[in-house]
Amino acid sequence: MLLAALLTLSANAAGLDLLEVGGAWGTPGATNPTALWWNPAGLAVGGGTQFIIEGAPVLANVYSDRANPPYGDVNYDPAQEELRPLDALGYPTNYDYSGRGEVSLAQVVPFVGVSSDFTIEGLGIGAGIAVPTATGGEIDDPTGANAYHLRSGDIRAPQIIVAASYRIKELVSLGGSVNVIDSSWGSVVDTSAYPDLAFAVADTLGSDRPPGSFRDGYIENSGYATTADFDALKDRKVSFGAGIYVTPIEELGISVAFNKGVRLDHEGPLTLDFNCPPEYDLLSRFAAEDRGICDVTMKGRGEVGYSLPSRVNLGVVYFPTEMVRLEAMGSWVGWSAFSDYEIKTIIADDQLSDDLTDPDIRAETLELVNKPRVWARDHRNTFWAGVDAKAQVHEMVMVGGRVFYDRASVPNESLLINNLSLDTIGLSAMAMVSPFEQLGIGLSYTRNQFISQTVDNSNFGLTVVPENLREFRYQFPSGNGTYGGAINRFGISLRGQFGAEGPKW
């Protein structure tokens, strides 16, 4: 029941990869219940019966200072290749889609784990819940400059983990885990119907290019926006972990573990809200009304697929004294598996207006609203590395800290507010008070500071000029601008350790 209750709290923190599974107690070389995620072989090394319950309030804020997209002069007619202002018809004479968008949230990230040797020497059995990956938040201005990249999002992949390990002659421990991933994907984002309308008009006129009234500078006008609301799409998959933990001498531990990535294919309800093109744009408005996508709402189903990465965790633990624990730690993360979002919208014929009596038009409309999309993520393989230290300064008090560096998994030219990964410096501090020998109450704080980046060569871009079209997976509004932010994590934990000797590492 406790696991089920905390599962509902699993957070959508503003960063896709959470390095602190288990908070201050979680490291690749852990021998407490956080080893469920980091390396199940560590369960048999810790011994006894242990539990950790942590709730971590997370306060996150990331921002995008979006630059005005390079759409060119709206007075330039690309069809005639000459200046031909349209202001006399009511068209705007300029555009400015720049501005700041801030995504923020306040959530709670849980960890619950329990392990035991059941009084059998060398055995380690454990179960728990962890949230290794999560992202999301609400943007401060849902109709502002970043609406075509994100209005809101809630993506989370909590895992229920069961693990077992066995230690041979206090030298080598082998372990494995089964991870049930209960993933959900939610997003509200605007998409521009303007290019589709432009090319639909061109087809109707029998031309290979849209008429000269279609200009790139109008692409992000709100009248052409369609708001797509993917409401908590779901998928459940099973993965596994395995590891080895070697203790050649009492003061030294070497931990290596592998966690298998998995393909996720989410399904769930979808709502599409279509705006009407401005009245002065007669061609676009006619095309939208003709296809029944002017100021209407359609409901259907959405599908979003992508892959979570495999990873290798490494920790080297050293005890210079019985009361001091040091660990050099890090991971290789195979984020290149996450190259794209594969997005499908499934709208049935009964969602179309009864006024669409022409079967050919109905078929064209269904093809338009159900067109599969691929949205480039361009993640690359990466790593993080750090150092963790803890000291038992009093029989009732433990203190510690860590520093780590996390290399961005997304190259600058593919950054968006909904595809944000920046080089990060993390600093942590912790303390635990043990009013009783078997129990401890811990507090920790981590500052994840993103190193801001400016993009002036975004891979993304939209156009109504056929020869300027980008690769399909990049046909979204430009991501030029400056990105930054930080995550503040506060850990509150209760620890128990029974039947095992030594400090509660």
115 falls within a domain: yes
pTM: 0.93
User: Which DSSP symbol is given to 217?
Assistant: G
Give a yes or no: residue 503 inside a domain. Answer: no
- Residue 467 lies inside a defined structural domain of this protein: yes
- How much is the CA Rg of the chain, to the nearest whole Å? 27
Is residue 129 included in any domain, yes or no?
yes
Does 308 fall in a domain? Answer: yes
Q: CA-to-CA distance for 335 and 345, rounded, in angstroms?
A: 26
Task: Give domain status of residue 302, yes or no.
Answer: yes
For strands 225-249 and 262-274, give the pairing: antiparallel
Alpha helices of 328-466 — where are they, by DSSP H? 359-369
Q: Are 304 and 4 in contact (CB under 8 A)?
A: no
Burial of 186 (0-12, 13-18, 19+ CB in 10 A): buried
For 301-360, the DSSP string reads: EEEEEEEEPPEEEEEEEEEEETTEEEEEEEEEE-GGG--EEEEEEE--GGGS-TT---HH
Classify the phi-psi angles of 119: left when phi > 0, otherwise alpha if psi is within -120 to 50, otherwise beta.
left
* Structure-token pair, residue 375: 């949205």
Full domain range(s) for residue 474: 2-498
**Angle at 208 (CA atoms; ends 203, 209), nearest 5 degrees:** 90
The number of residues in the chain equals 505
What's the CATH code of the domain at 130? 2.40.160.60
- The answer to the question of residue 505 being in a domain is no
Are 424 and 451 in contact, with CB atoms under 8 Å apart?
yes
Q: Which tokens belong to 433? A: 């008070």
Q: Determine, yes or no, domain membership for 396.
A: yes
Task: Phi first, then psi: give them for residue 76, nearest 5 degrees.
Answer: -90, 125
**CB-based contact 478:9 (threshold 8 Å):** no
pLDDT string in tens for the chain (505-residue length): 333 333 333 333 334 466 789 999 999 999 999 999 999 999 999 999 999 999 999 999 999 999 999 999 999 999 899 999 999 999 999 999 999 999 998 889 999 999 999 999 999 999 999 999 888 889 999 999 999 999 999 999 999 999 999 999 999 999 999 999 999 999 999 999 999 999 999 999 999 999 999 999 999 999 999 999 999 999 999 999 999 999 999 999 999 999 999 999 999 999 999 999 999 999 999 999 999 999 999 999 999 999 999 999 999 999 999 999 999 999 999 999 999 999 999 999 999 998 888 999 999 999 999 999 999 999 999 999 999 999 999 999 999 999 999 999 999 999 999 999 999 999 999 999 999 989 999 999 999 999 999 999 999 999 999 999 999 999 999 999 999 999 999 999 999 999 877 677 8
Domain count, the chain: 1
